[in-house]
Amino acid sequence: MFRTKSIGSAMLLAAVAVVSAQGANPNNPTNTDESKVKPYTLPEVLKTSDGKPVKDAKTWISKRRPEIVSLFETQQYGRSPGRPKDESFEVFEKEGVAFNGKAIRRQVMIHVDKDPAAPQIQLVEYLPAKAKGPSPMLLSISFTAPSNMIDDPGIKVGTIWDAKTKSKVPADQGRKFGKIDVEAFLDAGIGAG
């Protein structure tokens, strides 16, 4: 059985450290040169938007955390559209062995509609095989198939969109992205997916 421990607040706290007060601007191209970064001030994580300090868990949960989530929704990622009415899950591997026995692998295809031509999301999860209880989990969301991000021959090769041919192609024929070192997370007792 797959068990995870919620570390959402800790991840959110870490992620907010990289959000600038300026927000996203579609007219401003991406900058990859650190020397060209304009001065900015990061938001105070433990101060509410009206300047009051966060001194307890109740204030964090009821006031500050929703403010930070709202920043991500309005400045970074957008609001979740909610669960699709016809969403379904196809678990096609429940307890695969991966990384020389270090991990238990689960593979799931998430269907967002009954129409087989509708978009699908391929999910691959790894949990430390030696975990005796709940494990923290790193969830990586990407614009490519898991088979392009993880060196594991047991992963089903997904499909990606090819802008040149304007069609879906097997992921191993498309553009490659950065790899996730899943074994490093497993060695630290952290699951990855």
Tell me: do 96 and 50 sit in the same domain: no
pLDDT in tens, 148-190: 889 899 999 988 888 888 888 888 876 666 788 999 999 999 9
Mean pLDDT, all residues of the chain: 82
* Number of domains the chain contains: 2
Question: Residues 134, 191: contact at Cβ < 8 Å?
Answer: no
Give the integer Cα–Cα distance in Å for 27 and 49.
Answer: 27
Is the pLDDT at 56 greater than 60, yes or no?
Answer: yes
Question: Residues 69, 53: contact at Cβ < 8 Å?
Answer: no
82 assigned to some structural domain = no
- What's the pTM? 0.60
81 assigned to some structural domain = no
Tell me: do 108 and 67 sit in the same domain: no
Domain extent, residue 164, equals 88-192
Tell me: do 50 and 111 sit in the same domain: no
13 assigned to some structural domain = yes
Query: Which pLDDT band holds residue 97 (cuts at 50, 70, 90)?
Result: very high
Which of 191, 105, 109, 192 minimizes the C-alpha distance to 155? 105
28 assigned to some structural domain = yes
Is the pLDDT at 16 greater than 70, yes or no?
Answer: no
Tell me: do 69 and 158 sit in the same domain: no
Tell me: do 152 and 60 sit in the same domain: no
**How far does Cα 151 stand from its chain's mean position?**
18
Tell me: do 100 and 171 sit in the same domain: yes
Largest CA distance in the chain: 55
Tell me: do 50 and 92 sit in the same domain: no
